[in-house]
Amino acid sequence: MENLRKLLTKKKDKYPIETIFSLGLYHKFNNVQRIYLDKLFGKKYDESIDYVTNLVKINMGKQFYVCLVDYSDFEMSFFDKHSIANLNKIQIQIPNYNIYMTKYIKDDEWYEQYLMFIDYNINIKKYISGIINRVRFNKPSINTNVFFVDLNLKMVINLYDDRGLDILKLE
């Protein structure tokens, strides 16, 4: 978790948390690759899930950081309980050792909540299925944004929905 703390502090000028862990990385940084799943697979969701799962496993290794992002009209003392309940439904447990932060975004007039922790590649498919199920209105699904960060802090992957994902290479 110390490496993640370094990213959040030492690189905050180049990669502010509200930018690096936000949707649309492709439009915010030059060093982003966007993969259009809908162009590759159409509505073949199982193939999309397998493709993204393998891509994340290859790039993240056995362990990786997860950053969950949620939004609220008010400041909360911990991550949204409904989001945690949805994660539990896909069999993702929040470890006791985690980093929780909240930041007020003045332009949007809301609070962004960030929950970060280390997870293992055996859970990647659960996250990917939960994200894609959200758009397909299938259960179980998760309603929070998920960012995968490798332990060396060289890459961030965000599957924004069934249409595609962004891969940010950190310098």
Q: What pLDDT, in 10s, does the model give residues 81-93?
A: 999 999 999 999 9
Determine the pLDDT at residue 7. Answer: 65
**What's the rounded mean pLDDT across residues 28-37?**
92
Q: 109 or 171, which is more confident?
A: 109
Determine the pLDDT at residue 12. Answer: 67
Phi and psi at 110, nearest 5°, equal -150, 170
Instruction: Lowest mean pLDDT of 11-20, 31-40, 129-138, 147-156, name the range.
Output: 11-20
Model-level pTM? Answer: 0.91
Determine the pLDDT at residue 170. Answer: 85
Contact 93, 120 (CB under 8 A): no
Quickly list DSSP for 44-88: -HHHHHHHHHHHHHHHH-SEEEEEEEEEESS--SSS-HHHHHHHH
Q: Work out the pLDDT band at 125, boundaries 50, 70, 90.
A: very high
Place of tokens 């995968």: 148
Determine the pLDDT at residue 4. Answer: 73
